[in-house]
Amino acid sequence: MIPNALVKEFRKAKNIVAFTGAGISAESGIPTFRGSGGLWEGYRVEEVASPDGFNTNPVLVWKFYDERRKNIFKAVPNTAHTVLAKLENYYNVWIITQNIDGLHIRAGSTNVIELHGNIWRVRCTSCNYKDINEDVPLKDLPPKCPECGSLLRPDVVWFGEPVYDLEKAFHVAENCDIMMVIGTSAQVYPAAYLPLYAKQHGAIVININPERTPVDDYADFSIHAKATEALSSLYQKLQEAFQEE
Ligand code: APR
Ligand code: ZN
């Protein structure tokens, strides 16, 4: 599954970026968005993941997030998350994730850019109030700001909103030797430009996904497997390689 040529690239590399999507958390029991059985199949995206949807029906949106929070609360990081955390023993690693589940941080990764925010944070729709809220289920629906009484919203990025820390993400993508793309359909821009941008700046691009995605058109290595399988094989190969050194 892991070609020797890929191991060779890791032997030379210093800076690694992993750009991750819903697929890396699928094996932790968190559904992906697109495709059959995906989260967007049962919901209208505009209703539950857009500023307009929230203004129209905040209770519906909060119920949707309350359900997701219940599901994510039960989930634990899988081998793919933990291998990425362990790579920090050998490399400068940055994780750029589109996921809001917080599993990379729970797995022990320290440099994590959460482009779409985090489902365990809430923020006020009027003032600057922002806080962690880990109540499962939520106590009041919809929750209100303790400082000004306005509606709180999940601190996540909805359709039509700018993503967080995009400049920082492009900066680390520009400066990496290897860009691993894991479990994303790479359809949501501008984040989906990150691997191409890394490639244009000299990085080796690896796409890990059981399905074909647009990243395969320019990736140096495509591994069509589940994230846990691909990353545990990779880690095993790397450890063998490090022992030889
Ligand atoms: N291992 C690796 N990849 C997997 C696995 C697995 N076990 N299972 C599924 N996948 C892949 C699918 O083949 C698909 O390409 O994960 C990808 C998930 O794609 P999406 O559901 O589109 O999720 P993502 O790319 O993260 O979506 C980006 O879109 O709706 C918004 O804000 C939402 O952050 C999300 C963004
Ligand atoms: Zn407020």
pLDDT tens-digit profile of 72-81?
999 999 999 9
Q: What percent of the chain has pLDDT over 70?
A: 100
Ligand 2 geometric centre to CA of 143 (Å): 11
Q: List C-alpha distances in Å: 124 to 18, 51, 69, 153, 162.
A: 31, 13, 18, 6, 17
Ordered by start, the domain boundaries in the chain are 4-29+77-116+162-244, 36-74+123-156
Q: Given the CA of residue 22, which atom of ligand 1 is nearest to it?
A: 26
**Eight-class DSSP state of 157:** P
Given a cut of 90, whether residue 43 has pLDDT beyond it is no
Given a contact cutoff of 8 angstroms between Cβ atoms, the answer to whether 159 and 45 are in contact is yes
Q: Could you confirm whether 104 is annotated as catalytic?
A: no
Given a cut of 80, whether residue 88 has pLDDT beyond it is yes
How does residue 36 score in pLDDT terms, banded at 50, 70 and 90?
A: confident
**Mean pLDDT, residues 85-111:** 98
Ligand 2 geometric centre to CA of 132 (Å): 14
Pocket residue to mutate for ligand 1, from 40, 185, 194, 211, most atoms within 8 A of Cβ: 185
- Can you name the CATH fold of 4-29+77-116+162-244? Rossmann fold (3.40.50)
Q: Is 118 in the pocket of ligand 1 (CB under 6 A)?
A: no
Q: Is 34 in the pocket of ligand 1 (CB under 6 A)?
A: yes
Task: Establish whether domains 4-29+77-116+162-244 and 36-74+123-156 are of one fold.
Answer: no
Superfamily of domain 36-74+123-156 in CATH is SIR2/SIRT2 'Small Domain' (3.30.1600.10)
pLDDT tens-digit profile of 192-235?
999 999 999 999 999 999 999 999 999 999 999 999 999 999 99
**Eight-class DSSP state of 211:** S
